[in-house]
Amino acid sequence: MKLSNLPIGIFDSGVGGLTVFKAIRNLLPQENLVYFGDLARVPYGMKSPRLIQTYSLQIAKYLIEKSKVKALVVACNTASSTSLEILKENFNLPILGVILPGVEEALRITRNGRIGVIGTRTTIKTGAYQKALLKRKKGIEVFAYPTPLLVPLVEEGWLENRVARLVVREYLAPFIQAGVDTLILGCTHYPLLKKIIGKEGKGIMLVDSSQAVARKLKEILEEKGLKGGEGKEEFYLTDIPQNFSFLFRVLLGREPENVKLVKLEELL
């Protein structure tokens, strides 16, 4: 098979990375895509960076050996903030994370230079967003706070109920008080809560990095002459919870097909 016809690998700790999958599918409809969701070990956000690196290396190795992916998208902010460099050191193919595309978009749209970041505890603790923002533009102010309850809300499918609204309202309070005008959704699960975050955010502009990631991936594929494929899709999951089909339909508007269960021992 021609190198250009090989699939693009996309992985996340759970279903949140499907927001990136959707953006890539919309922008690159001809590409073959393989999605890996580590639902047996979600969430990553409370785990140590070393353990997340281990998981990321396992998944990357699996996708490269089994699916022969031509490029890899780390569609998880926690894994991007902890594992991107070690993945690039270990594997010789284009590897793209979700942090820098989101940073560039936030810097482009902010009007007052006050940028907020929400993410898992690990993502915020690494300082990946804060460092990247301040490195690229002096004089801005960055407000970053962990919002650990949002991933479980998404994984449970609680996207618009009263509990979700109360949690989001509580998390957004310090950003509103600080006068933030741009908020980076620093976890690929969070766009599923965009409707509530937008309503409770009182005019704050939201940055969903999935669109920026898709554009960057397209640019990389064109530069390296790797565009091609037949629009095929495969989904590998380490667990298939009861609400997976519901969340898949919410995100992609269709039923999931070609879903395969991967036993954790297959990754070791």
- Structure token pair of residue 127: 């300082």
Catalytic annotation present for 35: no
DSSP string, 177-214: HHT--EEEE-STTGGGGHHHHHHHTTTPEEE-HHHHHH
Given the residues 18, 99, 128, 187, the one annotated as active site: 187
Q: Between the CA of residue 70 and those of 2, 36, 159, 222, 225, what are the distances in Å?
A: 10, 15, 34, 13, 11
Q: How many CA atoms lie within 13 A of 51 on its CB side?
A: 10
- The C-alpha torsion from 245 through 196 and 105 to 145, rounded to 10°, is -100
Given the residues 76, 79, 103, 214, the one annotated as active site: 76
Q: Between the CA of residue 56 and those of 44, 47, 59, 94, 118, what are the distances in Å?
A: 10, 12, 5, 15, 22
Catalytic annotation present for 76: yes
CB atoms within 10 A of CB 7: 22
Catalytic residues: 76, 187
